[in-house]
Amino acid sequence: MRPIDFTHDPAARSWLVSANQPGSDFPIQNLPFGVFRRAGSAEPWRGGVALGDRVIDLGLLVQAGCLPPAAVEAAALAARPQLNDFIALGPSAWQALRHALFALFALPNTPATIPAAALLEQSEVEHALPLRIGDYSDFYTSIHHALNIGKLFGIPDVSPNFRWLPIAYHGRVSSIGVSGQAVRRPRGQLRPPGAETPVHAPCAWLDYELELGLVVGAANPLGEPVPIGRAEEHLFGICLLNDWSARDIQGWEMAPLGPFLAKNFATTVSPWIVTLEALAPYRCAFERAPGEPAPLPHLIDDAQRAQGGFDIRLSVALESAARRAAGLGAVPLTETSFRHQYWTPAQMLTHHTEGGCNLQVGDLLGSGTISGPTAAEAGAMMELTQAGRQPLQLPGAQGDTESRGFLADGDAVIFRGWCEASGRARIGFGECRGTVLPAL
Ligand code: MN
């Protein structure tokens, strides 16, 4: 577990006024990492840190000699076009850079030593994937999601393994994109309801999955599992993740090996990775409802019991093309918290390695769809609409409404994440947005 220190002080303020705005995702207590360049330019991609409405250009801070010796190497590596080399330095380097940036940008310091060019407007930059992702695995760890999906098919309980191990499958890296991604509706084999044989057609049941992305921060050698007590040392940070899903393709293809084409056409992540250091004030107990089994001993310890969870609040909103054209913005669909998840990030990481599988710096683990205990907390459209049987009604411009059983072409799906509690500084994840393009 990462310590709480002066960088989490809720009273701390930055001389950068926008970082102190109530409701800002990026106050001085957050300092998440991403990769950016000036929008539409041919500038090199480079690493930066979000603060208020700005991006801190780490390379320019290094050049200007603004940083103490202990943080220079970390900042120079974090300024590269991908964050992997910085992350590979390990937790003491992550902490040294966090402390140095806090000292530079928190009051009572003053901006005198910072070159103006090192603070770009977030509205003027574009983002690339912040990581060189070697492997991506996607979990299935919300019991509420699993029960909701089961009920749709008349299955009363989760599969027997669900309560004993964090279920997962190996995913696809090449189609992972950063927020703003345009997602082409896939074509595939699907079997229409009641039909004997499949057809090859555009996906009609296109869905999102509200997830978090867990970024691996330290490798383990092949053949050497990571024990639960060390698992969090192997996690760098967390981003938002949309695991786009073609439900009709999935329903036909997934027996008996699991999802394949239904999941590999797109995955969208948010540009900013919030560090486990920043999330330290928002840890919560690993809790299960009465009657649920305790994990096997290799998947639990006292630290996980006390603080294995994360109280990360999450929302989903949908902006149809018609609402966008009318300037109406997005319709909120869901709000929940990651604290309800059945398995913790550390348990997922330990389970992933228990047979000796080697994880590498920059690997990405999808948390699995995050659905909370009530119907309004469902993390996928499949659950919200009962597989399309109870379509959502989106209010339109002149009192008209649009109906949605699943996603339509032109729809934008917008995830947001934040942590908020009295006596603690609010921090946020920014936005993860993706828009549906029509099938070819
Ligand atoms: Mn998923």
Please answer whether residues 418 and 430 qualify as being in contact, where contact means their C-beta atoms are separated by less than 8 angstroms: no
Q: What is the pLDDT of residue 111?
A: 85
Mean pLDDT, the chain, integer: 97
Which residue in 236, 176, 177, 240 sits closest to 359, CA to CA?
236
Q: How far is the CA of 410 from the centre of ligand 1 (A)?
A: 22
Asked whether residue 230 is assigned to any structural domain, the reply reads: yes
Nearest to 430 by CA among 312, 318, 278, 271: 271
Antiparallel, parallel or unpaired: β 331-337 and 401-404: unpaired
The dihedral over CA atoms of 119, 120, 123, 125, expressed in degrees to the nearest 10, equals -140
Report phi then psi at 322, rounded to 5.
-65, -45
Residues 297 and 378 in one domain: yes
Q: What is the CATH number of the domain that holds 122?
A: 2.30.30.230
398 band by pLDDT with thresholds 50, 70 and 90: confident
Query: Domain residues for 390?
Result: 136-437
Q: Are residues 124 and 140 in the same domain?
A: no
Distance 252 CA to ligand 1 centre (A): 17
Distance between CA 149 and CA 329 in Å, rounded?
A: 29
Looking at the structure of the chain, the number of domains it has is 2
Q: Using the 3D structure, point to which of 128, 160, 193 is the last residue of a domain.
A: 128
pLDDT tens profile 269-302 = 999 999 999 999 999 999 999 999 999 999 999 9
Mean pLDDT for 384-397 is 94
Same domain, 112 and 145: no
pLDDT tens, 199-241? 999 999 999 999 999 999 999 999 999 999 999 999 999 999 9
Ligand 1 centroid vs 326 CA: distance in angstroms? Answer: 32
Find the 350 Cα to ligand 1 centroid distance in Å: 19
User: How many angstroms is it from 244 CA to the middle of ligand 1?
Assistant: 8
* Structural Rg of the chain based on CA atoms: 22
Which active-site residues does the annotation give?
Answer: 145
pLDDT of residue 258: 92
Ligand 1 centroid–CA 432 distance in Å is 15
Residue 25 covered by a domain: yes
Give the pLDDT band (50/70/90) at residue 397.
confident
Q: What is 423-439 written as a DSSP string?
A: TS--EEEEEEEEEEEPP
Reported as a pLDDT band with limits 50, 70 and 90, residue 20 is: very high
Which pLDDT value is given to residue 116?
93
DSSP-assigned states of every residue in 305-366: HHH-EE--EEEEEEE-HHHHHTT--PEEEEEEEGGG-SS-HHHHHHHHHTT-PPP-TT-EEE
Decide which of 95, 128, 161 is a domain's last residue. 128
Among the listed residues 90, 20, 18, the one whose alpha carbon sits nearest the alpha carbon of residue 55: 18
What would the two tokens of residue 211 be?
A: 């997830």
At residue 369, the pLDDT reads 98
Distance, CA 220 to ligand 1 centroid (Å)? 24
Contacts of 230 (CB under 8 A, 6+ apart): none
Strands (E), 16-87: 33-38, 46-51, 54-57
In a domain, 149, yes or no: yes
1 part of a folded domain: no
Cα-to-centroid distance, 201 and ligand 1 (Å): 22
State yes or no: pLDDT of 355 exceeds 90: yes
Strands 181-184 and 274-275: unpaired
Ligand 1 centroid–CA 289 distance in Å is: 23
pLDDT of residue 336: 98
Cα 139 to ligand 1 centroid, rounded to whole Å: 6
Residues 48-89: pLDDT tens digits? 999 999 999 999 999 999 999 999 999 999 999 999 999 999
Place of tokens 């705005």: 21
Residue 96 lies in a domain: yes
DSSP string, 141-164: --HHHHHHHHHHTT--S--TTTTT
pLDDT for residue 193 = 85
